[in-house]
A and B are shown apart, each in its own frame.
Chain A
Amino acid sequence: MTQLVQVLILGLLIGGVYALLASGLTLIFGVMNVINVAQGALFIFAAFLSWTLWKEAGIDPLLSALVTTPIMFAVGWLMYVGTIQWISGKPASMSVLLTFALALVIEGVSGMVWSTTSHSATPGYFASSYRIGDFYFPKAQVYGCGIAVIVLLALYALLRGTWLGRAIRAVSENVSSARLVGVNAHNVAALTFAVGVATTGAGGAIASVLYPFVPGSHYVWISRLLGIIVLGGMGSLPGAVIGALAMGVSETMTATYVSPRWATLVPYVVIMVVLLARPQGIMGAKLREDVVV
Chain B
Amino acid sequence: MRSALSKVLVTMIAVLALVAAGCGGDGGGGEASGEPIKVGASLPLTGDFSEPGVAAQQGYTIWQETINANGGLLGRPVEVVIKDDQSDQNVVVTDYNALIQQDKVDLLLGTFSSLLNLPASAVAEKNKMLYVEPAGGSPEMFSRGFEYLFFAQQATAPHQADLFVEWVNSLPDDQKPKTGAYVIADDPFGGPVAEGIQKGLEAAGVKTVYSEVYPPETKNFDAIATAVAGQKPDVIAQGSAGLEDGVNLIRSLKKVGYSPQQFFQASTPSFADQFSNAVGIDNTEGIFYAVSYDPAAKTPGNEEFLAAYRAKYDTDPPEDAADGYAAAQVLQAAAEGVGSIDDQKALADWLHENSVETILGTLSWDETGAPQQAFLLAQWQSGDEEIVRPEDSATSDTIVNPKPAWSK
Contact = CB atoms under 8 A, between A and B. Distances in A.
A21 B219 CA distance: 15
Contacts of B224: 255, 260
Contact of B274 (A3, A117, A251): A117
Interface string A1-25: 0010011001100100000000000
B187 to A, nearest CB: 12
Nearest to B54: A116
B257 interface: yes
Given A127-B279, A129-B255, A136-B256, A259 B50 contact: no
B19 interface: no
B367 to A, nearest CB: 34
Interface stretch (A77-85, A161-169, A208-216, A280-288): A208-216
Interface string B54-94: 10000000000000000000000000000000010000000
Interface residues of A, number: 39
Given A214-B51, A263-B214, A120 B46 contact: no
A141 B290 CA distance: 32
A138 B222 contact: yes
A109 to B, nearest CB: 12
Contacts of A7: 223, 226
A146 interface: no
A90 interface: no
Interface stretch (B160-168, B243-251, B301-309, B331-339): B243-251
A118 B212 contact: no
B218 interface: yes
A140 B153 CA distance: 39
A211 B219 contact: yes
B312 interface: no
Contacts of B217: 220, 264
Contact of A122 (B256, B257, B278): B278
Interface in B234-278: 243-244, 247-248, 250-252, 254-257, 271, 274, 277-278
A5 to B, nearest CB: 11
B223 A260 contact: yes
Interface residues of B, number: 43
A254 B381 CA distance: 36
Nearest to A223: B217
A256 B221 CA distance: 10
Contact of A251 (B186, B223, B271, B278): B223
Given A116-B46, A116-B54, A219-B47, A122 B277 contact: yes
Interface string B144-184: 00000000000000000000000000000000000000000
A174 interface: no
Given A107-B46, A116-B50, A120-B277, A251 B243 contact: no
Contacts of A116: 45-46, 50-51, 53-54
B254 A128 contact: yes
Contacts of B48: 214, 216, 219
24 contacts: A3-B230, A10-B226, A14-B222, A107-B46, A111-B46, A111-B50, A115-B54, A116-B53, A118-B243, A118-B274, A126-B280, A129-B255, A138-B255, A212-B247, A216-B48, A219-B47, A251-B223, A256-B227, A260-B212, A260-B215, A261-B212, A261-B214, A263-B214, A263-B223
Pick the 6 closest A-B CB pairs, nearest first.
A260-B214, A116-B50, A255-B223, A127-B251, A252-B223, A216-B47
Given A116-B50, A127-B255, 12 more contacts: A3-B230, A122-B280, A128-B255, A138-B222, A211-B219, A211-B248, A251-B223, A252-B220, A256-B226, A259-B212, A263-B223, A264-B218
Interface of B: 45-48, 50-51, 53-54, 87, 186, 212-215, 217-220, 222-224, 226-227, 230, 243-244, 247-248, 250-252, 254-257, 271, 274, 277-280, 283, 408
Interface of A: 3, 6-7, 10-11, 14, 107-108, 111, 115-118, 120, 122, 126-129, 131, 136, 138, 211-212, 214-216, 219-220, 251-253, 255-256, 259-261, 263-264
